[in-house]
A = this chain, B = another copy of it.
Amino acid sequence: MSFIATPQSMHFADALALQSGASIRDYHLAFETYGQLNADRSNAVLVCHALNASHHVAGRYEGQDKSEGWWDNMIGPGKPVDTNRFFVIGVNNLGSCFGSTGPMHTHPDTGEVYGADFPVVTVEDWVNAQARLLNRLGIDRLAAVLGGSLGGMQALSWTLQYPERVRHAVVVASAPNLTAENIAFNEVARRAIVTDPDFHGGHFYRHGVIPKRGLRIARMIGHITYLSDDVMNEKFGRQLREGIDLKYSTQDVEFQIESYLRYQGDKFSDYFDANTYLLITRALDYFDPARAFGGNLTQALARATAKFLLVSFTTDWRFSPKRSREIVKALLDNRRDVSYAEIDAPHGHDAFLLDDARYMSVMSSYFDSIAKELA
């Protein structure tokens, strides 16, 4: 049974300058903390989230069954990131729909719901916002910053934006930027949302509707790309949904995989915000620390002084091991301290959220060594 987690919120009145040139003020960040900050404030671990996640990283909510955080298998008392030793902080990013200020909140200048007017936020902007939160919590330097997928991009960016504030960066199932194919999948998902007649240019809140059709399609595409071909074949294969007879229909569900995807799409469209989906996929598209260095990742990572653990999964075709190895190589070119584990797991990109003995063991060992370093 997991421990009880309590969501908190912090208000920031001052404007935060964003990479786009815009700024945002009077915003809230939702966050949670687990464990105790030690006397010299050196044991803080910041966990950054990916597309469909939040500040609720671990533990469960009082009185709510099945409310475990999204990385509850990784973080908690006696777990790889052990909250008996570390003070863990989960923070929800700006633009999200899970608690921090986002498109469904009110723009302080206009008194209207932001909608499509919420400013474009980047990985770098999120890191700046997280740094402000740490300032308020009195944490100068992190024992580690940790994230998977888009969360791994934030962890990497921390080491470039605030090198002196990060001892260790743990970058799981991530990449130094998106490939054209990944941008392409994001773009199809965005088009499905934006061309839904219920999107109304992003101001659907005013019309009392939700672009559910688009959100469903976006989620279905996402879901396919988070799984491996192998695991899909194993879980669903060509199994029919009902018995052994084909119905011969173009619009009804025939195969189990169709039923599963429709269910995932429906569920997602009930709780996820369409503008948030656009914002977060764009943050993924934009992240590219090598861009300012003419594409030279080695030069881009020269600023980083943290020690690194990189983890990738063999069947992850969205953020493939090859992409993690690019980061490893660039860090080694800079003579940085890097550990790298390529885990032979069948579950595709989703593997970073799942239990796998070797993966858990690598994470345990690494955080164990961080704890010893602090002691």
In-complex Cβ contact of A229 among B179, B224, B250 (8 A): B179
Once A191-B220, A220-B187 are accepted as A-B contacts, the answer to whether A279 and B250 lie under 8 Å apart by CB is yes
Once A188-B261, A220-B188 are accepted as A-B contacts, the answer to whether A249 and B183 lie under 8 Å apart by CB is no
- Is A296 an interface residue when CB atoms closer than 8 A count as contact? no
Residues in B with CB closer than 8 Å to A255 are 180, 183, 187, 285
Chain A interface extent, by class: 35 or more
In-complex Cβ contact of A257 among B120, B187, B201, B288 (8 A): B187
Alpha-carbon distance between A224 and B233 when the two chains are bound, in angstroms = 21
- Is A6 an interface residue when CB atoms closer than 8 A count as contact? no
Q: Interface majority SS on A: helix, strand, loop or mixed?
A: helix
Contacting pair B177 A191 (CB below 8 A): no
Contacting pair B221 A258 (CB below 8 A): no
In the complex, the 10 A-B pairs of residues with the closest C-beta atoms, listed nearest first: A20-B248, A250-B278, A180-B232, A120-B248, A195-B213, A188-B220, A180-B236, A187-B258, A181-B229, A180-B257
- Is A197 an interface residue when CB atoms closer than 8 A count as contact? yes
In the complex, the chain B residue whose C-beta lies closest to that of A185 is B224
- Is A289 an interface residue when CB atoms closer than 8 A count as contact? no
Residues in B with CB closer than 8 Å to A192 are 192, 217
Once A238-B177, A254-B285 are accepted as A-B contacts, the answer to whether A195 and B183 lie under 8 Å apart by CB is no
Q: How far is the CB of A107 from chain B (nearest CB, A)?
A: 16
Residues in B with CB closer than 8 Å to A250 are 116, 120, 190, 202, 275, 278-279, 281-282
Residues in B with CB closer than 8 Å to A257 are 180, 183-184, 187
Contacting pair A216 B229 (CB below 8 A): no
Contacting pair A180 B238 (CB below 8 A): yes
In-complex Cβ contact of A187 among B197, B249, B261, B275 (8 A): B261
- Is A237 an interface residue when CB atoms closer than 8 A count as contact? yes
Within 8 A of B (CB), among A88-116: 116
Residues in B with CB closer than 8 Å to A195 are 213, 216-217
- Is A286 an interface residue when CB atoms closer than 8 A count as contact? yes
Contacting pair B224 A184 (CB below 8 A): yes
- Is A64 an interface residue when CB atoms closer than 8 A count as contact? no
- Is A19 an interface residue when CB atoms closer than 8 A count as contact? yes
Once A195-B216, A221-B221 are accepted as A-B contacts, the answer to whether A180 and B265 lie under 8 Å apart by CB is no
Residues in B with CB closer than 8 Å to A22 are 248
A120-B248, A188-B220 given; name 10 further pairs at CB < 8 Å: A20-B248, A120-B249, A183-B238, A183-B255, A184-B232, A185-B224, A187-B261, A188-B224, A250-B278, A250-B279
In-complex Cβ contact of A258 among B181, B183, B197, B236 (8 A): B183
Within 8 A of B (CB), among A1-58: 19-22
Alpha-carbon distance between A218 and B196 when the two chains are bound, in angstroms = 14
Contacting pair B217 A217 (CB below 8 A): yes
- Is A325 an interface residue when CB atoms closer than 8 A count as contact? no
A190-232 CB mask vs B (1 if < 8 Å, else 0) is 1110111100011000000000010011001100100101001
